[in-house]
A and B are shown apart, each in its own frame.
Chain A
Amino acid sequence: MDWSKSKSIFIVVFLILDVLLYSLYLNRHAEKQQMEALGGLVENDIEARLKDDNITYRVLPNNIESASYISGKVKDFEEDKVDIQNAENISFEDKSKLIVTLKEPVKIPNLENEVAFNDFLKLNVYEGSSYRLWDIDYESNKATFYQQVNNRTIYNESGLVTIYWNEDNEVVMYEQTLLENIEAYDEEKKILKPIQAIYTLYAQGLINANSTITEMRLGYSTLVPLTQKQVFVPTWEVRVQTSENEEEKYFVNAVDGIEVKLDASKVEEVEDTIEEGITKESKLGNETDIEKK
């Protein structure tokens, strides 16, 4: 009857309405996906560009999304004495650097083996287990270790151990600096994806064609190293193997995406610029008495 007819009309009307609503809903969804894709698109683009230049990389650590800044204090070894065994002579440089000559040299059983070095540090160096092997220089018989916090390396001269050995592979001397009171700031910062860090270097022409990214690790660095209390920025360490088979190390600030130059000469340069401002105040004038002619 009438009610039946109106029911039919209602069904048609609601059908149309629902189709409309559903398409609206789909639209919203598509928008969101587009927004998300934007980020991904850039990433794909980077990958494509790197591929064009035959820059390859192994598995990147893609599970780290945020990290916090940390701060630490340079330990004053001269003031704050530590007990060191097997030492013939202990001296200090700038209060914070400990230089120890061993009474009885300690043999490193296998110079090719990282573990042997780490064992030496654990047994012979104060807080030795918090350092991680960075570089072995077979030509000048020395190895360097950077301090670590939560398994992340602090690429900094203020948390560094350098050991020296003689021809019999016996460690005779080491130097040490140490950061203490290391604290993480509460606020976690969103950090750059590894591929973006690679791109930062690539865009600056630092990674050449046919290179391989061999390793990426998240660590910490500072560009202002000569203060007592220091702040360290989450930093990507990027190891690159060039087409000539040489290994290069780069660092990228993982928060701001800026390449940071941490090699010693550059750090000194930066310090000079900072010091300059203190010592060389803008062109100071002078006074003269002018004699009457």
Chain B
Amino acid sequence: MKHIEQIKSFVLFLLVILSLILTFSIWTYTPNYQPIEGSQVQQITVGEQKELHEVLKPYRILAHENDKLLGTIQSSQIDRIMKTMADLSASNLIFMQSNLSEEEINSAIHTDNRMTLFFSYEVPMETFLSVLEFSQNDLPETTFSHLIIDWSEYSKTNSIQFLFISEENRTLYSTDVAISKNNFESTFMEVVNQSVPYTELERKNNLSLYVSTNPVEVPKFTYSINQVSPETFKDILFKDSNIVQKNIESNTSTKYTDGMAAMTSDASTRTINFVYPASESIDEIKPSVLFQDSFDFINDHGGLTGDYRYVYSNVLKHVTEYQLFAHDLPVFSQITSTRISTTWGDNQIFQYKRPSFILDTPFDISNQLLPSGAEVGEALPSIEDINEIVLGYYLSQEEKNYNFVYTLIPSWFTINNDGSWTRLTTESIGGAEYGLE
């Protein structure tokens, strides 16, 4: 019993040491997890990020009030409506009719106390949720190309009716939207007041065309342009830009590759074309999902470097296209591309084509008088086989010596049924009469 105290001391000492060791080992214990690769936090951008409703804009508003046809293409008016719409909430979306005929669509548009927003291409209903709130959560998977706002019952119900017409599917859906008197007057009535007279060009068994009744004065712009360097796109688009090899194919064409993807940059047209062949896919995809994927892909790197608006989609081929607009008008060109086009693949981009130039600052502005749309319609040999007559800008290089200068020449265009465009030169439509060159 004599040693018992010594043994106790020894055991205590051991226990103290053991607790120290354990504490230390727990403290310093860090499992060596594999670092997760590829999480690039810093996203390079080429422009500002946008909201989805900024690319979902109509190109024309047409109103029918007191038996008069009025219209506008001004962005400020279009924005006024889109902005108000964002604060409204609609009731349930109700299916009204299918198999709409051309006549039915035409008469729906030119009914009194109505306003029609013309969209360039079918907008998926679910995508439109980001603009207008609905009381129901799951909207039918449908699309629309014309949004008609009807206020004929407004004085009685204090609400207006939205009619969604799809030119492609020939369907009609409707919903009721409550709106305060103030808001109604300052938005819809104000837009009507700001609109100019329009003429309907009727066509047999076809949708009518709508053009301005009076000659229009449109500014012509000369722009100095900026360019996003292909190297920046290389850093954005390739998974690991360090392994990318650059090939100079000719004076104007440069090709980049990392073995899995290729990017071609054309210096003369100022365009970029990126392809990621391995992700090619023709799997079925919902139109709203396709649009969202495409928009997010471009917007994540701030790729909407101008007033680009959604104008085309091919759901089967996964294609989505955005058209450049400048000063309210679409821009068309033969020397470069004015469209961003994406082809979605297997959960990632398959092809991405776009202009690399940015319209920077206009340094020369002069007004030009263009003939009225009605006159253009009359001068055309036929208006049966076209899709639309629109005012637009023809982008060209007037000063051959200064290749960083682009000129936007206001012109009338016809949009053909296959999506291509034709510029109507003004010389022969009464050029002298309007004092044009």
Write the residues of chain A forming the contact surface with B, with a CB cutoff of 8 angstroms.
4, 7-8, 10-11, 14-15, 17-18, 21-22, 24-25, 28, 31-32, 35, 69, 71, 185, 187, 190, 221-224, 227-233, 253, 256, 258-260, 270, 273-274, 277-278, 281-293
User: Within 8 Å of chain A (Cβ to Cβ): is B285?
Assistant: no
How many contacts A-B (CB < 8 Å)?
A: 179
Residues of A within 8 A of B421 (CB): 283, 285
Once the chains bind, are A273 and B22 in contact (CB under 8 Å)? no
CB distance from A76 to the nearest CB of B (A): 13
User: Within 8 Å of chain A (Cβ to Cβ): is B242?
Assistant: yes
CA distance A28 to B25 in the complex (A): 11
- Contact A277:B351 (CB < 8 A) given known A4-B8, A231-B259, A270-B277: yes
Once the chains bind, are A278 and B266 in contact (CB under 8 Å)? yes
Once the chains bind, are B19 and A281 in contact (CB under 8 Å)? no
Which of the residues B29, B353, B424 comes within 8 Å of A288, measured between beta carbons?
A: B424
Interface residues on B, range: 35 or more
Which of the residues B9, B19, B245, B381 comes within 8 Å of A21, measured between beta carbons?
A: B19
CB distance from A243 to the nearest CB of B (A): 28
- Contact A282:B247 (CB < 8 A) given known A11-B12, A223-B278: no
**Chain A to chain B contacts (Cβ below 8 Å), 26 pairs:** A4-B5, A10-B12, A14-B19, A21-B23, A24-B22, A31-B31, A32-B31, A69-B243, A69-B259, A71-B245, A223-B262, A224-B260, A224-B261, A227-B262, A253-B278, A256-B239, A256-B278, A258-B278, A274-B273, A281-B271, A281-B337, A284-B420, A287-B425, A289-B428, A292-B429, A293-B379
CA distance A230 to B258 in the complex (A): 8
Chain B 155-181: CB-based contact to A (< 8 A → 1; otherwise 0): 000000000000000000000000000
Once the chains bind, are B243 and A291 in contact (CB under 8 Å)? no
In the complex, the chain B residue whose C-beta lies closest to that of A273 is B275
- Contact A282:B339 (CB < 8 A) given known A229-B245, A288-B423: yes
- Contact A18:B18 (CB < 8 A) given known A185-B243, A289-B428: yes
CA distance A277 to B273 in the complex (A): 6
Residues of A within 8 A of B425 (CB): 287-290
- Contact A282:B31 (CB < 8 A) given known A7-B9, A231-B257, A292-B429: no
What 5 A-B pairs are tightest by C-beta distance, nearest first?
A277-B273, A14-B15, A21-B22, A231-B259, A285-B421
CA distance A281 to B334 in the complex (A): 9
Once the chains bind, are A231 and B351 in contact (CB under 8 Å)? no
Residues of A within 8 A of B68 (CB): none
In the complex, the chain A residue whose C-beta lies closest to that of B271 is A281
Residues of A within 8 A of B255 (CB): 227
Within 8 A of A (CB), among B4-44: 5, 8-9, 11-12, 15-16, 18-19, 22-23, 25-26, 29, 31, 33-34, 37
- Contact A221:B246 (CB < 8 A) given known A288-B423, A290-B381, A290-B424: no
Which of B22, B246, B351, B380 has its CB near the most chain A CB atoms (within 10 A)? Answer: B22
CB distance from B83 to the nearest CB of A (A): 31
User: Within 8 Å of chain A (Cβ to Cβ): is B212?
Assistant: no
CB distance from A1 to the nearest CB of B (A): 9
CB distance from B347 to the nearest CB of A (A): 11
Residues of B within 8 A of A14 (CB): 12, 15-16, 18-19
